[in-house]
Structure 1
Amino acid sequence: MTGGMDGHAEDRGRVYQASGDQHITEHHHHGDAAAAGGPDSVRRPAVGQPPVVLRDRAEVLERLIASQRAERGGEVYVLYGMGGCGKTAVAYTLFQRAEAEHGRVGLWVGASDRASLRAGMLAVAADRGAADAELLAARNGLRPAADLVWQYLDRSAEPWLLVLDNADHPEILRDGSWLRSSPRGTVVVTTRRSAARWWPGAELQHIGVLPREDAARVLCDLAPHSGTREQAAEIADRLGRLPLALTLAGGFLSHQVLDPWTMETYGNRLDGEERVELIDQGADALADGDPRHLVGLTWQLTLDAFEARGMSEATALLRLLARLAPEPLPLSLLNQDAIGAVLPRARCESALRALLDQSLTELVEVGVRCVQSHGVLLDSVAAATPADRSPALDSTAVRLLDAAVPALPDAGPHDPGLRLLVPHGPALLRRVADPATSAEALAVVTRLCVALHRTGDYLSAWETARTAAELGERRLGAEHRLVLAARSRAGRALFRLGRYTEAEETLVRVRSAQERLFGADDPDTLDSGHGLQLVLGNLGRPAEALALLRATVAGRRRVLGPEHPLTSRSRSSLLVLLPATDVLTEDDGTLLDLPADCARILGPDHTVTLGAHHNRAWALYQLGRFDAADEEIRLVTEAYRRRFGPDYPIALSAQQLLSRTRTARGDTAAGIELMTDVVARRERGLGSGHPFTVASRRLLEEFASGRWRPPHPPG
């Protein structure tokens, strides 16, 4: 690579930055750039049906409400307690009152996993005024996401209340420093983890089970005609006065129409049921008298009633949901033919309605309609599912997730819908025991990682791929083809995040194993090799990178054929790595014809075709063919701006090369105008001190001072 190279693209729009600030990023944006924010909504709590009356929380609420008065700020409150005790209900009620009574802007973020937390917090930044270019840079890993979010929270013109719900893994908040305080607002965290070391500087508030009288009132609120207050109190005692168990019991009692149950009947049936063991993940170990044990009794009575009424499909649907995560699940995922292996698709609507009526699940609106069930409930349902039912449930869940993930992920805009799928992939991998089904699940989750990667969400891609590989290894072994493919994908994402040393270590290790197990020409080995040559090039080892790239091109030609898109991707990379004179002789002198071949085979707007045009423009520029380079990069720049928006890194890279070709042709004024716009956009998106911004500003100064010189034609 030459020292003067900057901002040209290769391999689906990867952008090299040299002259002291080498880095590579990737374009991933189709269509309207303004739509990149997606449907993430932080103004609506991800809560289904709120409690009719919030019992026994007046004192806690009053103290929390007091923090919302007179524009106080800087407080962090942590609501902790066992799963099902009503922490989210308290936070929801505070959220509603803070908005209605005290003019606060309410912001609600699910914090159960890294991808959901990051997406939600970036949506908070967008709500508080962050520009698309800044959000895009944060998703691409080009600027610290948490710093961007808190910068805009601190600048907020309106006081706010930020709820971080279900933060049962506090280490997620610590990584990246997501949990901070601000004088402009109040932060409320709900969690099952109470250790003070996780919450320095926060005020901790325990949310426990309800007092007897209030627990009885909850049952009477939900099923007012089923019995007396004293009967309700007796049932509440037997359910440990846990709000989740009370809600499930009340939902059951309130929806018995043909043969309604009384509270007395319900209590008698509780005595006859065996305890269903469950694991409340993230909380302390269960004691024998822990009321969470009793959640299983409540839903089992409901499922027994379903079976008696000929509604076994409701039971099947709940067991299917229990294979996935207790996070919002798009309803569209359930509306697939594949669900027929567990219950008739035509009966899915009535089954879901039955679960909703009995409070076994709820509808939530997060920009798209989703269904969500409580984690304690799903864990207990999964634990009680008969072993002979699990294989069909597991394979069906895999097929449903498979249908929701793009079959051929391509470069495109940020897609919050993909983020909604992220927690369900690892959850499924944890549930599945059969190796063959585990392999199918791992393949789907790895493809989801590819889709995340190609929409620019590199952090989510890396985290999900790493987790999937670790879970897959438990069932399939460290050297299974799919486990290695997931680790290779994690290495590719590390590269995009600028973590080159880690990326090299990962890809070298994976590629060595793939070559030993499958051969040098195996498609997976070649894919890892293509990723590794990119890393080597950016680590300042162009000779190694070029040798590996040539081997990859040759291998892909042999295995995939000369016209395969992956072969063309690797050949396109040669336009970047080769010295200018070698471009004319490589591949029998046909390399400069690659864009025309791609357009003929793949179409003129294909991502590989555009990347090949971009890379040829750079090669022509290095060869001193400035007029041809200028015309080519002008068309590429226009295409990128149309498809990806003017602030996208690849569009700015192309525009920067266009400024060079214009200046090289003698139109310095046009070159300065183009570079001035690049600098302004990079300052807006990345900040004035980012290496990309610094390099662009330096080039602009060279143009303006007359010190810049174009490359000399070879020969």
Structure 2
Amino acid sequence: MTGGTDGHAEDQGRVYQSRGDQHISEHHHYGGGGPEHGGPDSVRRPAVGRCPVALRDRNEVMERLRESVRAEHGGQVYVLYGMGGSGKTAVACALFDEVTGDQGRVGLWVNAADRASLRAGMLAVAADRGAGDGELLAARNGLRPAADLVWNYLDRSAEPWLLVLDNTDEPEVLRDGNWLRTSPRGTVLVTTRRAAARWWPGAELQHIGVLPREDAALVLRDLAPHSGTPEQAARVADRLGRLPLALTLAGGFLSHQVIDPWTMDAYGDQLDGDEGVRLLDRGADALSPADPRHLVGLTWQLTLDAFEARGLPEAAALLRLLARFAAEPLPLTLLNHVRIEAVLPRARTETALRALLDQSLSELVDVAGTRCVQSHGILLDSVSTATAADLVSVLDTTAVRMLDAAVPVVPDAGPHDPRLRLLVPHALALLRHVGGPSAADALAVTTRLAVALHRTGDYPSARETARTAADLGQRHLGADHRTVLAALSREGRALFRLGRYAEAETALRAVRDVQQRLFGADDPDTTDSGYGLQLVLANLGRREESVALLRETVAGRCSALGPAHPLTLRARASLLEMLPATEVVTEEGGALLTLPSECERVLGPDHTVTLGARHNHAWALYLLGRFDESDREIRQVAETYVRRFGPDYPVVLAARQLLSRTRAALGHVDEAIALMTDVVERRECGMGPEHPFTVASRHLLDACRSGRRRP
């Protein structure tokens, strides 16, 4: 500027210039710019659009809330907590409508999603209850405590009230100024995702979870009554995990299809594709497309963003890792492993998990005595869909390695272990997710899990796991991949134990033929299938074929694994069971009958293969007519089996069946009948009355009772 008066002003600005001293006082009054302090348009109506057409399966919690509001005295604080989309706001909205309509109570609704919204909403409540402009201005400008002003007017309210603090997902904002209080004039209802009781001292907490199947189906039928039958709606509800938000979105989509209306079944089929989450969110167009809380793909992103803002990125990382698994209980022990380090620091896993629990993104459950973490399927689908492509490989690899560490390296025979079954849905979920190198690793782990299930006697689970794993693995790896063939072989082994001999023979023979062509006759996978096939042939009465194949298996394992390998010794021990008496004494130059001692020397006396060799040795002694020796040995084996496996394990029943035969051969018929009766009853219970093993035991029992037993 020069020394002249060359100032310039625009719009409503003023420039005062002078060469001398001046004192200027000016007051400005501008119109049209809106209120200086913005607030909600209304606190007398829920800020959620329309409340649900019908509130399903919330009768119990609604009745408790009604009783509290009806009571002559106020002073209660109720907290509705649950994951995003569980319907917390819907419950609050339904109660709000009831008490403001039927009971004439004042309803006050505040969006408490953040500090600014809470403060503006609560000051609007104070204005509603009679606070003057001057008081409100002083509170806004920090000249008097805002929370004290609000609660002073709530306490002095001439009418009883219900105050709803909705979306209070950051309860820290309530502590600044002590916004959450009680009053004899009303009831406070809070909705939140934060489950930890420490946030809500003195409040009564109520979890809001997913709906029962029938009620979930009714939500769909309420919104789209002509799209399908109740059972079709129930199936879609199951696929959506019965989450109210997902159900509402699905029903909204179905109800607004005009040109080419979808059926429930067609919608359910589309949900199983890669675009399932995006399809769900298309149902929000008629609801509130601007609000991320009304979108499955975005509602949980609010929480993940909050994790980042609070310096908890590992919580989001843990959730992305959990999204590689199934929406079923996951044993916590999987998370306590060094292999998680590739995704988040192991030392921060506890903190990350607590954050997920606090935000109702996951919950702790106890299944068969095993502590687990579980997250909702739609949440996991949403997180998986939103996961950046450059993170997928390390997440898949880490998840497979964590599962690998939870499955026994060499599954052994043992009693039923419910923890193994907990791993099955997660193993199969990984196979559905992964590709590339991780696919073969995931299939190998899942097949090993099927082996572990098999060796605990859970043959149905073993068969289903192996079959599904083979089908999923084949999509990524092809039908002739080694791990796919190994999974199919395990299915054949399980079919045999289930008594489905014809199917088992077909499966094992087909797999063995391919393995022999691709890998050679002595390959361990080929001989493993051969070992399973010879068991089937023996039980079909084709003894010569069985023995010939067993000899091939022994030779192949000796060549590939060595004579002292446990699998080689197991195959040799089977010769003790399969060979007739005339051959068993000459096999291996007479050395076969000393196999139990060899197994004990190489593997130890308690090894499963050693016990199996002694079991089969007792059978060989029985065939040779050496009943006293056979009786002593099988009694010892049976007692060891019972201590180790329990009374119902299949090999225990086989040993006790042989013990019954030796007791009968020695003249102890009553004891033999009692033993065999117990075997029959347990096999009927565990395998069914028509299983070939059960039928054979029943025939032996009948023969023993009729005096027709023969050595």
In the aligned structure 1, how far is the partner of 2:110 from the partner of 2:565?
A: 65
TM-score (norm 2): 0.62
The 5 Å alignment of 1:23-422 reads: 60=57, 86=86, 210=90, 213-214=93-94, 227=117, 250=167, 252-254=169-171, 280-281=271-272, 285-286=279-280, 288-290=282-284, 294-366=295-367, 367-422=369-424
C-alpha distance 704-326 of structure 1, shift in aligned 2 (>3 A): closer
The SS at the match of 1:359 is coil
C-alpha distance 671-295 of structure 1, shift in aligned 2 (>3 A): closer
In the aligned structure 2, how far is the partner of 1:251 from the partner of 1:281?
A: 33
1:63 is displaced (CA, Å) by 12
In the aligned structure 2, how far is the partner of 1:441 from the partner of 1:350?
A: 28
Equivalences, count: 491
Contact 1:280–1:376 at 8 Å: present in 2 too?
Answer: no
In the aligned structure 2, how far is the partner of 1:524 from the partner of 1:459?
A: 22
Amino acid in structure 2 at the alignment position of 1:658: L
In the aligned structure 1, how far is the partner of 2:111 from the partner of 2:616?
A: 66
C-alpha distance 222-614 of structure 1, shift in aligned 2 (>3 A): farther
The SS at the match of 2:400 is helix
Contact 1:56–1:210 at 8 Å: present in 2 too?
Answer: no
Q: What residue is the counterpart of 2:145 in the other structure?
A: none
The 5 Å alignment of 1:452-601 reads: 452-601=453-602
Contact 2:113–2:168 at 8 Å: present in 1 too?
Answer: no
Amino acid in structure 1 at the alignment position of 2:171: S
1:425 to 424, 427, 433: 427
C-alpha distance 648-302 of structure 1, shift in aligned 2 (>3 A): closer
Contact 1:462–1:493 at 8 Å: present in 2 too?
Answer: yes
Amino acid in structure 2 at the alignment position of 1:427: A
Q: What residue is the counterpart of 1:624 in the other structure?
A: 625
Cα deviation 1:307-349 (Å, max 9, x = unaligned): 2332211111111111111111111111111111111111111
Worse-superposed segment, 656-665 or 473-482: 656-665
1:656 is displaced (CA, Å) by 2.4
In the aligned structure 2, how far is the partner of 1:325 from the partner of 1:219?
A: 41
Q: What residue is the counterpart of 1:440 in the other structure?
A: 441
Gaps of 5+ in 1: 1-53, 66-82, 90-208, 233-248, 267-277, 711-715
1:393 is displaced (CA, Å) by 0.8
In the aligned structure 2, how far is the partner of 1:693 from the partner of 1:506?
A: 23
1:259 is displaced (CA, Å) by 9.6
Amino acid in structure 1 at the alignment position of 2:282: D
In the aligned structure 2, how far is the partner of 1:314 from the partner of 1:362?
A: 14
In the aligned structure 2, how far is the partner of 1:577 from the partner of 1:644?
A: 24
C-alpha distance 298-704 of structure 1, shift in aligned 2 (>3 A): closer
Cα deviation 1:251-308 (Å, max 9, x = unaligned): 6343568999x99xx9xxxxxxxxxxx9854989546234798122222232223223
1:544 is displaced (CA, Å) by 1.3
Cα deviation 1:612-657 (Å, max 9, x = unaligned): 1111111111112222212211211222222223343332322222
Contact 2:113–2:169 at 8 Å: present in 1 too?
Answer: no
Q: What residue is the counterpart of 1:650 in the other structure?
A: 651
Contact 1:458–1:496 at 8 Å: present in 2 too?
Answer: yes
Q: What residue is the counterpart of 2:451 in the other structure?
A: 450
Worse-superposed segment, 369-378 or 664-673: 664-673
C-alpha distance 215-541 of structure 1, shift in aligned 2 (>3 A): farther
The 5 Å alignment of 1:659-674 reads: 659-674=660-675
Q: What residue is the counterpart of 2:212 in the other structure?
A: none
1:228 is displaced (CA, Å) by 7.1
Between the two structures, name the one with larger relative contact order (CA 8 Å, sep ≥ 6): 1
C-alpha distance 677-470 of structure 1, shift in aligned 2 (>3 A): closer
In the aligned structure 2, how far is the partner of 1:64 from the partner of 1:536?
A: 61
The SS at the match of 1:252 is coil
Contact 2:660–2:673 at 8 Å: present in 1 too?
Answer: yes
In the aligned structure 1, how far is the partner of 2:110 from the partner of 2:561?
A: 66
1:706 is displaced (CA, Å) by 3.4
TM-score (norm 1): 0.62
Identity %: 63
Cα deviation 1:445-488 (Å, max 9, x = unaligned): 11111111111111111111111111111111111111111111
In the aligned structure 2, how far is the partner of 1:304 from the partner of 1:64?
A: 31
In the aligned structure 2, how far is the partner of 1:483 from the partner of 1:339?
A: 27
Contact 2:498–2:691 at 8 Å: present in 1 too?
Answer: no
In the aligned structure 2, how far is the partner of 1:363 from the partner of 1:702?
A: 54
C-alpha distance 704-463 of structure 1, shift in aligned 2 (>3 A): closer
Amino acid in structure 1 at the alignment position of 2:522: D
The SS at the match of 2:635 is helix
Amino acid in structure 2 at the alignment position of 1:699: L
1:84 is displaced (CA, Å) by 8.1
C-alpha distance 424-314 of structure 1, shift in aligned 2 (>3 A): same
Contact 2:508–2:533 at 8 Å: present in 1 too?
Answer: yes
Q: What residue is the counterpart of 2:609 in the other structure?
A: 608
In the aligned structure 2, how far is the partner of 1:636 from the partner of 1:323?
A: 44
The SS at the match of 1:590 is helix
Cα deviation 1:183-213 (Å, max 9, x = unaligned): xxxxxxxxxxxxxxxxxxxxxxxxxx95993
The SS at the match of 2:365 is strand
Contact 1:251–1:359 at 8 Å: present in 2 too?
Answer: no
The SS at the match of 1:423 is helix
C-alpha distance 504-439 of structure 1, shift in aligned 2 (>3 A): same
In the aligned structure 1, how far is the partner of 2:307 from the partner of 2:594?
A: 67
- What RMSD over aligned residues (CA atoms) do the two structures have, in Å? 3.9
Contact 2:495–2:503 at 8 Å: present in 1 too?
Answer: yes
C-alpha distance 628-549 of structure 1, shift in aligned 2 (>3 A): same
Contact 1:84–1:376 at 8 Å: present in 2 too?
Answer: no
In the aligned structure 2, how far is the partner of 1:676 from the partner of 1:496?
A: 21
In the aligned structure 2, how far is the partner of 1:638 from the partner of 1:334?
A: 38
The SS at the match of 1:520 is coil
C-alpha distance 378-673 of structure 1, shift in aligned 2 (>3 A): closer
C-alpha distance 660-532 of structure 1, shift in aligned 2 (>3 A): same
Cα deviation 1:583-605 (Å, max 9, x = unaligned): 11112221111111111111111
1:681 is displaced (CA, Å) by 4.9
